[in-house]
A and B are shown apart, each in its own frame.
Chain A
Amino acid sequence: MAEVSLRDVKKQFGEVAVIKGVDLDVADGEFCVFVGPSGCGKSTLLRMIAGLEEISSGELKIGGRDMTSVAPADRGVAMVFQSYALYPHMTVAQNIGFGLRMTGHPKAEIARRTKIAADMLQLDQLLARKPSQLSGGQRQRVAIGRAIVREPQVFLFDEPLSNLDAALRVQMRIEIGKLHQDLKATMIYVTHDQVEAMTMADKIVVLNAGVIEQVGSPLELYHRPGNLFVAGFIGSPKMNFIKATASPAPGGMIALTLPGGALLTVPAGAAKVTAGQLVTVGVRPEHLTVGGPADAILPAKLRLAEYLGSETMFYVQLADGSDFSVKADGLAKAAPGADLAIGVPAAACHVFDADGRAIINGDLTK
């Protein structure tokens, strides 16, 4: 079994605390993605699981065994680096088999495992080439092949697709997904690209400044973000936020007063507000409408329109000066400076209190 568990794991670089107490469980066979802005500590956390960085305090278990102080080679992990880290003076076949050769595996065994990995990754025609003769995608596949032959319990990926162009990235994403299905191995994947996170993950861990903001499945994080940070990080384009005042309303509802005077009522659920409480309302650009009927209307002026063909992005300015983005149908058109009536559906609104915690999540099924 290859489950990974972290208990109160902390990391200090001198005086600076980079990881400030992380508790996490990754189930056997799960594809877990660490996502977060630059500098949040996701690569450091991955390297701590790999054994390349020391864990300052806390406990790491892999497969139920304590690996906190165990050397990287004995942890049953294999790592794929962002920069590929291929040995440039060796052929692809030698690169893939290097670790096995150095640890005394018999030649026949090395050849067998290399062949399996090469077939899985379509590298069989490239085995005699050197890394400098390969394209970026091929190099990354060699790096993945090198990880596969070790038959590890856990695969660790450190932003492996960051150096590839957009088209190749999509292709490799699908390949890694297929690999996960074929190998059924536990995979921990670090990325700053939330599209990768959303498409590949069974479970997403959102990190910010060394702490976990939220853990959940992609759709859970999309529909029910637990705080402002997660709401603003997950989803592209970014969720819109406006300051509003909330007051309790009859019938288990909460009345939100939006800037410009528009009124919105949302079901309170378990949330309790005091009259006139300052809150932040979040609503995603794809849920807003332009023109037509809506639960609340925000008058806005168009500043910029982006026509993508499949959709149109309107960047508007509200009456109080704040910026909003609205995703409209691909055929929608408007001239800069035009007045637009932005429709806000109550079911899509998330409400966050002054500390940034979500008190109400939207429910699009209603």
Chain B
Amino acid sequence: MFPTPVQKAPAWVRIGYQILLPAALVLWLLPLLGVALTSIRPAGDLAAGNYFGVPSYFAGPENYTAVFRDSHIGQFILNSFKVTIPTVIGAVGLSCLTGFALSTYKFKANLWIFFLFVAGNFVPFQILMVPVRDLSVRTGLYDSVYGLMLFHTAFQTGFCTLFMRNFIKTLPFALIESARVEGVSEWKIFWHIVLPLMRPAIAALSVLIFTFVWNDYFWATVLVQGDHAMPVTAGLLSLKGRWVSAWQLVSAGSIVAALPPVAMFFLMQRHFIAGLTLGATKG
């Protein structure tokens, strides 16, 4: 068996593993644990300089309700959902179509169009900052949820197309040929045969895109100014500006903002299944 399993390794390796692994885990999660701890620490502790010690009392409910009551974080979270969910649907949906077309049909420009989708992702997004802001101002999409959503959809479709096209290439082509001989139209082949087999890819990509777009900070600050359209990532920053030293509230806000992508991941778990094409072909 390779590598040698831990249970069969020499004693010093085993003990070292049992000590170092939890230590590495705690070290790795330290920033997150720090933020979580701060979010349940009462304001008094922070003022008194008690940053890393045991909190004097559990101020969780007090901090979390204060964040929602005294700031616009509810609005910010709603804006984030308004931007992220249509982006996920748009980008993943469009890339299913483009990925299918690029992987199934042979035409001269196939590879060039594919490279076009992929190459767009290699441009450093900082370079795009000024031109995209310019474009959104001129089209009247600046400082709106729609503008941010349209931009993200456009930008993410490149990567999504790459992902989907490569996934669809792994599906047995004989299935499509068999349907063609049976007289099934190309759209029906896509809808009834290819799409059901793409479930794991769609689930994986949805989680990825949700996380990318939800956690995006750069374009939130570039394309949006007012609270009416501000997503939660940039919104948290404005929280910091208002209460300079209310770290417990900022921490609480951060934890709340980090939860939806995690929830999305767990929701999609049941779609991450292998072996969907089992039984389709042999040899």
List residues of A whose CB falls within 8 A of some B CB: 50-52, 72-74, 77-79, 81-89, 98-99, 102-103, 130-134, 136, 139, 146, 150, 162-163
Contacts and interface: CB of A to CB of B under 8 A. Distances in A.
A99 B197 CA distance: 18
B197 A88 contact: yes
Nearest to A83: B281
Contacts of B175: 85, 87
B182 A146 contact: yes
Nearest to B275: A132
B29 interface: no
Nearest to B191: A102
Contact of B283 (A99, A103, A162): A162
A87 B193 contact: yes
A84 B182 contact: no
Nearest to B180: A72
A98 B172 contact: no
B283 A102 contact: no
Interface in B162-177: 172, 174-175, 177
A83 B176 CA distance: 13
B171 to A, nearest CB: 10
Given A89-B196, A132-B278, 11 more contacts: A74-B183, A82-B283, A83-B283, A84-B281, A86-B281, A88-B277, A88-B278, A98-B182, A102-B192, A103-B184, A132-B275
A72 B181 contact: yes
B4 interface: no
- Of B179, B181, B182, B278, the most chain A CB neighbours within 10 A belong to B181
Contact of B185 (A86, A102, A133): A102
Nearest to B171: A88
Contact of B280 (A74, A82, A87, A98): A87
B126 interface: no
B7 to A, nearest CB: 34
B56 interface: no
Interface string B268-283: 0000000111111111
B279 A134 contact: yes
B14 interface: no
B179 A86 contact: no
Nearest to B184: A102
Given A89-B276, A131-B280, A139-B279, A99 B174 contact: no
B184 A98 contact: yes
Interface of B: 172, 174-175, 177-185, 188, 192-193, 196-197, 275-283
Contact of A83 (B182, B275, B278, B282): B282
A51 to B, nearest CB: 7
B84 to A, nearest CB: 29
Given A83-B174, A85-B172, A87-B193, A130 B181 contact: no
A85 B178 contact: yes
Contacts of B276: 88-89
Contacts of B174: 81, 83, 85
B181 A51 contact: yes
| In the complex, the 3 A-B pairs of residues with the closest C-beta atoms, listed nearest first | A99-B182, A131-B279, A73-B183
Contacts of B197: 88-89
B81 to A, nearest CB: 31
B225 to A, nearest CB: 48
A87 B171 CA distance: 11
A131 B193 CA distance: 14
Contact of B181 (A52, A84, A88, A89): A52
A87 B280 CA distance: 6
A84 B279 CA distance: 9
- Of A52, A88, A139, A146, the most chain B CB neighbours within 10 A belong to A88
Contact of A102 (B188, B277, B280, B282): B188
A136 B188 CA distance: 27
Given A83-B174, A88-B197, A163 B282 contact: yes
B283 A98 contact: no
Contact of A88 (B182, B279, B283): B279
A130 B279 contact: yes
Nearest to B195: A89
A167 B71 CA distance: 75
B183 A99 contact: yes
A86 B283 contact: no
Contacts of A162: 283
A270 to B, nearest CB: 46
B279 A132 contact: yes
A163 B192 CA distance: 27
A17 B183 CA distance: 29
A81 B184 CA distance: 17
